[in-house]
Chain A
Amino acid sequence: MGIGNDRVSMLLKGERVDMVPVFPLGIRAFAALGVGYTMGEAYSDGEKSCRAELWAQEQYGFDGFPNFAYGPFGAWEFGGEIKFPEGEFQQAPMAVRYPVISEEDVWTLRVPDDISTAGAIPIGMAHSLTAAAAGATVMTPNAGVFTTAGNLCSVQKLARWMIKKPSLAHRMLELSRDFLIGMVQLWVDTFGKDILMYNAEPSAANQVISARHFEEFVLPYSIEVHSAALRMGIKHIMTHICGDQNLNLDHWTKIPMGDPGLLTFGHEVDLHTAIEKLGESSVIMGNVEPSLIQNGHPNDLYDACRAAIKAGKGAPRGFVLMSGCGFPPKTPPYNFFTMVKAARELGKL
């Protein structure tokens, strides 16, 4: 158990690597389809989901480690309802009933007594146990504190409360914070401190909120969750800074990420800017546009990988070629191979 031996884990340990690693973010649905499982099983069956990722890793020869985090995280765990992906066009679970509907619900909602049995936590745990058994780096399965809060009451309700009823918004964030800290503790108790904490903040993107609201509602709670994880002995936090977060980047520099952290960016953030602002303390990962990965001509995708590698290669703590967001499950296998090929041919260090 502990930190694995793939190239991304080597960067975390400060070791030299021979090439830019490729680490597709959240590849489980693509991986599941590739071994004949259903898209639903990629989320509903932790063991199969993790095994599919490990097999895909063997097949394509990429780096990194299995990851179980999913977008609507929190809704089910707090007593709401989610739907697993089933049809042809889904790629992730979706919330169908939020635990918080009315303003009164905010004050009666509690962090689940036993986090280990809440919602998808047992599935995430089965996923991590499978990863640990295979010698891969283990990572917690959560989303970020703001995104989780949005998943408890809907982002749109949270957004309105931030302006009109800030005390309700802050309460949602406190609940989310306490839950996340409890969950990270459960993972540390189970796997020890040589694991990674994961964080993803799509709902904090500037497509949704301003930097001013980030400062008030995302920053303080993220600092609390990350600091708590680091106090537990976790050394590295992987954070997916999802979407357009250009206006938030200065705030992200104030959130402790461990040494080094692992920061992943969407195509909306320029890699040079990311490296300049955050590259001294974190490994920078990114940021090939998912839509190009799924729909692009292999030559265009290869060119986009070339541009990303060129921009990222010199990052002081290392660079990892990654999809800008969740790896599109319907990607043609040759396009994924193209990313691996680009790193092999253009990413020699």
Chain B
Amino acid sequence: MASDEKKAEILKGLHDSVVEYEEEKTVEVANEAVAEGLDAFEAIMGGLAKGMETVGDLYVRQEYFVPELLLCADALYAGLEVLKPHLKAESHAEPRKIILGVVEGDIHDIGKNLVKVMFDAAGWQVFDLGADVKIERFAEEQKKCGAQVVGLSALMTTSMLAIPRIIKTLRDSDSTVRVLVGGAPLNPDIAASYGADGYADNAGEAVEQAMKMLQQA
């Protein structure tokens, strides 16, 4: 078992290597965490995910941009790959599930990809349907995987008109599913008028919003 000091050092190492987008270093520290017998869940949440949270803040403050974020995400995923197989049964008993996709007619997928990273970092199981996703597919996939939340991204005023239609098909098929929406032309008012349960302005807030929605459910 690692000493408290060693543990703190490893968590900081995971945090920093994600923030500094050093993929190899992240893998190295993740392996060290395993070797030192650190709880994998703690290493993920207290190290990698914390790092991604810092990255989210740096993005909002315009110190980091999409290129930096993508590389931080690469480091995060590399670390997750090492740590996930070591998760104890109870800590990944029932991961929360979310379906993500960019709506039909829209290929702007950078934002959705960043949202996905945040949910991955927060330990959710993410079903990513990609971009230009046909209306019916969301409900079909939701039925298959039983996701509690569906996240819809639209970056254009034309494509966002698909959102209320998707929400209707989702509600028709499962009245308990929660819908989270985001993307540049949307705002809380439009989201509400489309019948969504939540809206988030950026990837950092997305997970928080999803958690809130589930608590209200």
- Name, among A95, A293, A295, the residue most crowded by chain B CB atoms within 10 Å (CB to CB): A295
Q: Return the chain B residue nearest A209 by Cβ.
A: B65
Q: Return the chain A residue nearest B154 by Cβ.
A: A89
- Whether A87 pairs with B105 at a CB distance below 8 angstroms is yes
Chain B proximity mask over A138-159: 1 for CB below 8 Å, otherwise 0: 0000000000000000011001
- Whether B157 pairs with A159 at a CB distance below 8 angstroms is no
- Whether A290 pairs with B185 at a CB distance below 8 angstroms is yes
Instruction: Bin the interface of chain B by size.
Output: 20 to 34
Knowing A163-B71, A290-B185, A328-B157 are in contact, say whether A89-B103 is a contact too (CB < 8 A). yes
A-B residue pair count with CB separations less than 8 angstroms = 79
Q: Return the chain A residue nearest B158 by Cβ.
A: A91
How far is the CB of B61 from the nearest CB of chain A, in Å? 12
Residue B87 interfacial (CB < 8 Å): no
- Whether A91 pairs with B156 at a CB distance below 8 angstroms is yes
Residue B8 interfacial (CB < 8 Å): no
How far is the CB of B184 from the nearest CB of chain A, in Å? 8
- Whether B113 pairs with A94 at a CB distance below 8 angstroms is no
Residue A247 interfacial (CB < 8 Å): yes
Residue B197 interfacial (CB < 8 Å): no
- Whether B132 pairs with A156 at a CB distance below 8 angstroms is no
Q: Which residues of chain A are within 8 angstroms of B71 by Cβ–Cβ distance? A: 160, 163-164
- Whether B157 pairs with A295 at a CB distance below 8 angstroms is yes
Q: Which residues of chain A are within 8 angstroms of B110 by Cβ–Cβ distance? A: 155-156, 208
Chain A proximity mask over B61-100: 1 for CB below 8 Å, otherwise 0: 0100111101100100000000000000000000000000
Q: Which residues of chain B are within 8 angstroms of A72 by Cβ–Cβ distance? A: 107
Question: In A177-227, which residues have CB < 8 Å from any B CB?
Answer: 206-210, 213
Q: Which residues of chain A are within 8 angstroms of B156 by Cβ–Cβ distance? A: 91, 328
Provide the bound-state CA to CA distance between A328 and B155, in Å. Answer: 12
- Whether A90 pairs with B157 at a CB distance below 8 angstroms is no
Q: Which residues of chain A are within 8 angstroms of B132 by Cβ–Cβ distance? A: 94
- Name, among A88, A163, A247, the residue most crowded by chain B CB atoms within 10 Å (CB to CB): A88
- Whether B158 pairs with A328 at a CB distance below 8 angstroms is yes
- Whether A294 pairs with B157 at a CB distance below 8 angstroms is yes
Residue A272 interfacial (CB < 8 Å): no
- Whether A330 pairs with B67 at a CB distance below 8 angstroms is no
- Whether B105 pairs with A85 at a CB distance below 8 angstroms is yes
Knowing A163-B68, A163-B71, A294-B157 are in contact, say whether A89-B106 is a contact too (CB < 8 A). yes
* Interface residues on chain A, number (Cβ under 8 Å): 31
Interchain CB contact (< 8 A) of B70 among A160, A210, A247: A160
Q: Which residues of chain A are within 8 angstroms of B106 by Cβ–Cβ distance? A: 89-90
Interchain CB contact (< 8 A) of A89 among B66, B68, B113, B161: B161
Interchain CB contact (< 8 A) of B105 among A90, A160, A210, A291: A90
- Whether A206 pairs with B67 at a CB distance below 8 angstroms is no
- Whether B107 pairs with A94 at a CB distance below 8 angstroms is yes
Residue B159 interfacial (CB < 8 Å): yes
Q: Return the chain B residue nearest A72 by Cβ.
A: B107
Interchain CB contact (< 8 A) of A160 among B67, B103, B184: B67
- Whether A89 pairs with B104 at a CB distance below 8 angstroms is yes
Provide the bound-state CA to CA distance between A291 and B193, in Å. Answer: 15
How far is the CB of A324 from the nearest CB of chain B, in Å? 11
Q: Return the chain B residue nearest A210 by Cβ.
A: B65
Interchain CB contact (< 8 A) of A162 among B67, B103, B185: B67
Residue A329 interfacial (CB < 8 Å): yes
Chain A proximity mask over B1-37: 1 for CB below 8 Å, otherwise 0: 0000000000000000000010000000000000000
Residue B192 interfacial (CB < 8 Å): no
Q: Which residues of chain B are within 8 angstroms of A206 by Cβ–Cβ distance? A: 62, 65
Provide the bound-state CA to CA distance between A89 and B106, in Å. Answer: 8
Question: In B151-187, which residues have CB < 8 Å from any A CB?
Answer: 156-159, 161-162, 184-185
Provide the bound-state CA to CA distance between A163 and B74, in Å. Answer: 13
Interchain CB contact (< 8 A) of B62 among A162, A247, A329: A247
Q: Return the chain A residue nearest B131 by Cβ.
A: A94
- Whether B161 pairs with A330 at a CB distance below 8 angstroms is yes
Residue B211 interfacial (CB < 8 Å): no
- Whether A329 pairs with B158 at a CB distance below 8 angstroms is yes
Q: Which residues of chain A are within 8 angstroms of B157 by Cβ–Cβ distance? A: 290-291, 293-295, 328, 330
Provide the bound-state CA to CA distance between A156 and B65, in Å. Answer: 12
Can you show 9 pairs from A to B with CB atoms below 8 A apart?
A: A89-B103, A90-B106, A155-B66, A206-B62, A206-B65, A209-B65, A210-B62, A293-B157, A295-B190
Extra contacts, 7 of them, besides A88-B162, A95-B107, A159-B70 (Cβ < 8 A), are: A87-B105, A90-B158, A94-B107, A209-B65, A213-B67, A295-B190, A329-B158
- 9 cross-chain pairs, A with B, having the tightest CB-CB distances, nearest first: A89-B105, A90-B105, A159-B67, A91-B158, A291-B185, A94-B107, A294-B157, A210-B65, A328-B157
